[in-house]
């Protein structure tokens, strides 16, 4: 590796760490503000604004998942939802020049602390076994064993994942259950470990709500609002996910419908367990080191 390549690699890891430092602070500050009666939109905007104040940028819209929701839920432009006695998952991402950190925490307002503890302890167990050469299937086995021990199920069709440059989800996938053929982690890998625990069956499906989108391909459109939206998307967000409420054009919903119809953007439907069940989540970003791992979002 040349001296220039070494310098670039060192800069990459420093930016991952910087993103993680910002994110750890924002996660704790945001979680402390989640209370019954507080607005979802207020919490999302607080976290996203705070990320910018601290020198980063949101890597994706703040996910606020309630009860059976597991991922891809974020407030709409005029959302009036408030927190009740519910299980609340906050999933927050930061990037610094496209280098990412990703974290999540459950704030339990529902009176089910053991479910929240199950995903938290599953994450701790996973972190304990990470080192160069470990198979991702073995990490999944640790997660599954802990969640099973609490009497719950892991969500098997959601996984942890690698983090790339301007890419929120890259290989390898980190399963939340034992698998026979995983991927071997190597020194320098940057991955998000993301256990989900549920008192449901352990498999989420797509709902009808969709507030998060990302660029599928570059293209051209005639509609003014769609053109304005696309210019902002390619300039500000690139390939990272964004929220409808982030778009500065008038009638952003119309713009997104046109862009989606032309296969220029794609949406992320909210992922949900069956009604009446709960999902908890805990996530950290780590860098695999020679003797274990460095947690950047601690």
Q: Is 135 annotated as a binding residue?
A: no
- 79 flagged as catalytic: no
* Residue in 102, 189, 199, 211 annotated catalytic: 102
Do 259 and 280 lie in one domain? The reply is no
Quick check: 149 and 161 in contact, CB under 8 A?
no
Q: Is 95 annotated as a binding residue?
A: no
* Residue in 79, 165, 169, 216 annotated catalytic: 169
Nearest of 116, 101, 100 to residue 34 by alpha carbon: 116
Nearest of 285, 6, 35, 296 to residue 170 by alpha carbon: 285
* Residue in 18, 86, 117, 194 annotated catalytic: 194
Do 99 and 226 lie in one domain? The reply is no
- 91 flagged as catalytic: yes
Q: What Cα–Cα distance (Å) separates residue 99 from each residue in 77, 130, 165, 290?
A: 27, 21, 5, 21
Do 250 and 191 lie in one domain? The reply is no
Do 172 and 244 lie in one domain? The reply is no
Give the pLDDT of residue 260. 97
Do 114 and 226 lie in one domain? The reply is no
Do 24 and 137 lie in one domain? The reply is yes
Quick check: 68 and 276 in contact, CB under 8 A?
yes
- 49 flagged as catalytic: no
- 210 flagged as catalytic: no
- The domain that holds 264 is classified in CATH as 1.10.10.10
- 21 flagged as catalytic: no
- The DSSP call for residue 102 is E
Do 170 and 185 lie in one domain? The reply is yes
Distant-in-sequence, close-in-space partners of 96: CB < 8 Å, separation ≥ 6: 15, 16, 18, 19, 22, 55, 56, 57
For residue 7, what pLDDT band results from cuts at 50, 70 and 90? low
Give the pLDDT of residue 8. 77
Determine how many CB atoms are found less than 10 A away from the CB of residue 237: 21
Please give the structure tokens belonging to residue 239: 């390939």
Do 193 and 242 lie in one domain? The reply is no
Q: What Cα–Cα distance (Å) separates residue 96 from each residue in 59, 73, 236?
A: 9, 23, 13
- The domain that holds 64 is classified in CATH as 3.90.230.10
Do 226 and 138 lie in one domain? The reply is no
For 127-185, the pLDDT digits (tens) are: 999 999 999 999 999 999 999 999 999 999 999 999 999 999 999 999 999 999 899 99
- β-strands 242-243, 212-215: how paired? antiparallel
pLDDT of 109 strictly over 80: yes
Please give the structure tokens belonging to residue 261: 């119809």
Mean pLDDT of 29-46: 98
For 194-242, the pLDDT digits (tens) are: 999 999 999 999 998 899 999 999 999 999 999 999 999 999 999 999 9
Q: Is 283 annotated as a binding residue?
A: yes
Do 126 and 248 lie in one domain? The reply is no
Q: Tell me the pLDDT of the chain averaged across its residues.
A: 96
Provide the domain count of the chain: 2
Torsion of CA 254, 257, 261, 264, to 10 degrees: 100
Q: What values do phi and psi take at 66, rounded to 5?
A: -115, 130
For residue 119, what pLDDT band results from cuts at 50, 70 and 90? very high
Q: Which domain holds residue 165?
A: 3-207+271-295
Give the pLDDT of residue 1. 61
- The DSSP call for residue 82 is B
Do 159 and 235 lie in one domain? The reply is no
Do 174 and 287 lie in one domain? The reply is yes
Please give the structure tokens belonging to residue 6: 């070494």
Mean pLDDT of 289-297: 97
Displacement of CA 225 from its chain's centroid (Å): 28
Q: Is 40 annotated as a binding residue?
A: no
């Amino acid at each position: 590796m040349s001296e220039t390549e070494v310098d670039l690699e060192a800069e990459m890891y420093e930016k991952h760490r910087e993103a993680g430092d910002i994110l750890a602070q924002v996660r704790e500050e945001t979680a402390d503000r989640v209370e019954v009666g507080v607005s979802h939109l207020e919490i999302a905007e607080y976290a996203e604004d705070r990320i910018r104040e601290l020198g980063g940028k949101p890597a994706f819209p703040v996910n606020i998942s309630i009860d059976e929701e597991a991922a891809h839920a974020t407030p709409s432009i005029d959302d009036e939802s408030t927190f009740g006695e519910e299980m609340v998952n906050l999933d927050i991402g930061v990037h610094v020049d496209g280098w990412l950190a990703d974290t999540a925490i459950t704030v339990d307002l529902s009176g089910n602390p053991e479910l929240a503890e199950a995903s938290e302890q599953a994450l701790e167990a996973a972190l304990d076994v990470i080192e160069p050469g470990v198979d991702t299937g073995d990490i999944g086995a640790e997660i599954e064993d802990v969640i099973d021990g609490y009497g719950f199920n892991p969500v098997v069709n959601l996984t942890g994942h690698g983090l790339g440059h301007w890419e929120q989800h890259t290989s390898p996938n980190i399963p939340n259950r034992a698998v026979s053929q995983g991927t071997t982690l190597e020194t320098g890998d940057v991955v998000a470990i993301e256990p989900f625990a549920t008192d449901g069956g352990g498999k989420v499906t797509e709902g009808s709500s969709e507030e998060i989108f990302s660029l599928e391909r570059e293209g051209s459109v005639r509609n003014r609002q769609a053109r304005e939206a696309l210019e902002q998307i390619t300039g500000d967000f690139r390939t990272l996910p964004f929220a409808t409420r982030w778009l500065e054009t008038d009638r952003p919903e119309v713009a997104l419908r046109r862009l989606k119809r032309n296969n220029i953007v794609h949406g992320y439907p909210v992922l949900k367990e069956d009604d009446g069940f709960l999902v908890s989540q805990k996530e950290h970003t780590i860098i695999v080191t020679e003797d274990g791992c460095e947690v950047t979002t601690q």
